[in-house]
Structure 1
Amino acid sequence: MANLGFLAALGAALAWGSYMVPFKKSRNSNLTQFQALMAAGIGFSGLLISLVLGFPLSFNLYGLASGVLWATANMVALIAISSLGLARAVPVISSLIIVSSFLWGALIFNELTSGLLVGFSGIGLIIFGVILISAIGNTGSKNIKKGLLATVLAGVIWGSQWVPLKMGNTNALNLFFPVCFGIFFSGLIFFVVKRTEFKREAIAESLLSGLVWNVGNLLSLISLSIIGSSKMGPISQVATLVAVLWGLFYFKEVTNKKARIQVLIGAVILLAGVATLAFA
C-alpha cells in the first residue's frame, strides 16, 4: 500500500510541475487573472471529479481552510517571484515546503517509524537537489527584502496546507471538494480585492492549468492518506525538477551545456533524497 502512496506523490509532482505549461504556451503575462481563472478551473473540475467519483460535496471547514492556505500561498509566491525572479524564489520556497511539511508530519503527527535521522538525511538531499536544479538562469532582483519575506511566507504556508486535512481526522479524499471550493472562493476574492481588469486572454489555457493542477491535488490527497505529509510533501517537490525539464527541453529556455549538466546532477541528488525518505 505504501508503494501506491509514493507513486501518487510522484504523480502529483508530475502534474504540479506541468500545470503552468498551458498558460506559458499562451505567452500571457497577466498573473492575477491567471490565478483567478486557474482557481475557477480547480473549482469546476473539483465539482465534476467529485460527482464522478462519488466524493461528498461538503463544505468541511478543515478542507476549506486547506484551500484558503493554498490560494494565499500562491498569491504570496507571485509577489516573491516578481521581486526575486524564479531562480532565487523557487528553490527557497520548495526547500521551506519540504522542511515545514516534514516537520509537521514527523514531529506533530508522529508519522515516521524508523527515526528522524534517516528522514532528515533524505530531506537534506532533496533540498540540495532542488537548489541545484533551480539555481539556473537570471538571478536579477528588484526588491530583495520584500521578495525574501514573501518567499518565506509562501514556503511555510504551502508546507502547512495539509495540516488542516490531518486535523480533520477523516479520509483525505472526503475533503477533496472543500479544498477545491476553498481555492475557488479565495481566488475570486483576491481578484475582486485587487480590482484587476478582466481581459479575454488565455482563458482556456488558465482553466486547463487549473484542471492539471487539480489532478495533482487529487493524487496528493491519495498519497497523504497513505504515507502522510512528512513523506508526501517533500516527494511532491520533485515538481521543481519536472518544471525545469519543461523549460529546458520543451521551451528551450536554457541552452547552456553546463546548466543542463547541473540540472542532471541535481536530479540524481533529488531522487536519491526521495529514495532515502522512502526508508524513513
Structure 2
Amino acid sequence: MGIILAVITAVCWGSIVLVSQKLGGDSYSQTLGMTIGALVFSIVTFFIVHPDINSLVMIVGAISGALWVVGQRFQFATVDHLGVAKTVPLSTGMQLFGTTLFGVLVFHEWKTKTEIIIGIIAIVVIILGAVFTSIRDKNNKEDGGTNYKRGYLILLLSTAGYVGYVVIVKWFKVGGWEAILPQAAGMFIGGLLLTFTGKPFNKFAVRNILTGILWSTGNITLLLSLPKIGVATSFSLSQTGIIISTLGGIFILKEKKSKRQIIFVIIGCLLIIAGGVMLGLTKR
C-alpha cells in the first residue's frame, strides 16, 4: 500500500506542469489558480485531521508556502523559455542537488563513509543527467538564443524557492500535517503578491485550481507513505514523475525536439531518477 501511495505522489507531481500547460493561461494565472486549489484542499484536510497548530508552525509554514510559490511561479515562467521537456528534469536535478547540499552541510545527514561515497556518486549522476537533458540541437533555429539564457536564470530563482520551502520546515522541525494549512495560506498570499501585476484573475486561474488539488493530493499521499515504506523509498519514487512531464512535453504538447535530443532527454531523465534513488539510500 505504501508503494502505491508513493507512486500516486509521483504521478500527481509529475503531471502538474503538463496539466497546467493543457489547461492554458500564463504563469501568473497558473500560479494563482494552483495556490487557490491548494488552499481549498488544505482547509478540507484541516477539518478532517485536526492537527495542532501553534504560532511557530503558522509562521514557518507560511514562509515555507511563500517560498514554494516563488519556486512554482518561476518554474512555470521557465517553461515559456525552455519548454516542459527541458524544464522539469533540470528543475528536479537542481532541487535534488540543492536539498542534498543543505542536508549534508547544514543538517549533517551523511555520517558514514558509505553514505558519503553513495551521495557524491549520486550528485555526479544527477548533474550528468541535467547536462543530458539540456543538450541543444544546433541545427534547430528554435532551440537556442537569449531565451535559453533567461530561462536558466529564472530556473535558478525557481530552484532557490523550492529548496527554501523544504529546508525551512526541516530546520524548525515542523510536522507535515501541521504545516499543510499554514503552507497553503502562505502559498495563496505569496501567489497574490507575485501575480497581481499580470492580471491573473481569469478563466485560466479557475481552471488551474485543478493543479493545486493535484499537488495537494501528491503531498498527502507522500505523507501517508512515509511511515509505511520509509523516507528513502518514498523520496526516490516521488522523483520518477519527471518521466510523465518530460515525455508528455515531447509527445503530448508536441515540443519540437530532434531524435538526438529525445534520446538525450530520456537518458538524462533516467540518470536523474537513478541519482534520486541513490540519494534516497543515504537518507534515514
Question: What's the TM-score, normalizing by structure 2?
Answer: 0.78
Aligned to 2:19: 22
Shift of 1:116: 1.6
Shift of 1:15: 1.5
Choose which of 271, 275, 278 in structure 2 pairs with 1:276: 278
Aligned to 2:241: 239
Instruction: Report the 3-state secondary structure (helix = DSSP H, G, I; strand = E; otherwise coil) of the residue aligned with 1:112.
Output: coil
Does 1:181 pair with 2:185? Answer: yes
Amino acid aligned to 1:123: I
RMSD value over aligned CA atoms? 3.4
Aligned to 2:209: 207
Amino acid aligned to 1:207: I
Shift of 1:35: 1.1
Shift of 1:64: 0.9
Question: What's the TM-score, normalizing by structure 1?
Answer: 0.79
Larger deviation: 259-268 or 205-214? 259-268
Which deviations, in whole Å up to 9, do the C-alpha atoms of 1:33-81 show, x marking residues without a partner? 1211111111111111222233346662111111010112223334444
Larger deviation: 210-219 or 262-271? 262-271
Trace 1:119-268 onto structure 2 (pairs within 5 A).
Answer: 119-133=119-133, 135=135, 138-143=142-147, 146-192=150-196, 194=197, 196=199, 198-199=201-202, 201-221=203-223, 227=231, 232=235, 236-253=238-255, 257-268=259-270
Does 1:43 pair with 2:43? Answer: no
Which deviations, in whole Å up to 9, do the C-alpha atoms of 1:184-218 show, x marking residues without a partner? 111122233x151633x335531111110112233
Residues 1:135 and 1:179: Cα distance change in structure 2 (over 3 Å): farther
Is this contact kept in 2: 1:12–1:236, CA < 8 A? Answer: yes
- Count of residues paired in the alignment: 271
Q: Structure 1: which 5+ runs fail to align?
A: none
Aligned to 1:95: 93
Residues 1:34 and 1:240: Cα distance change in structure 2 (over 3 Å): same
Q: Structure 2: which 5+ runs fail to align?
A: none
Instruction: Report the 3-state secondary structure (helix = DSSP H, G, I; strand = E; otherwise coil) of the residue aligned with 1:166.
Output: helix
Residues 1:80 and 1:31: Cα distance change in structure 2 (over 3 Å): closer
Higher helix fraction: Structure 1 or Structure 2? 2
Amino acid aligned to 1:184: F
Instruction: Report the 3-state secondary structure (helix = DSSP H, G, I; strand = E; otherwise coil) of the residue aligned with 2:165.
Output: coil
Shift of 1:102: 0.4
- Aligned partners of 1:48 and 1:67: how far apart in 2? 17
Which deviations, in whole Å up to 9, do the C-alpha atoms of 1:219-276 show, x marking residues without a partner? 4555778538xx94x7644333221122244444468554444344334433332333
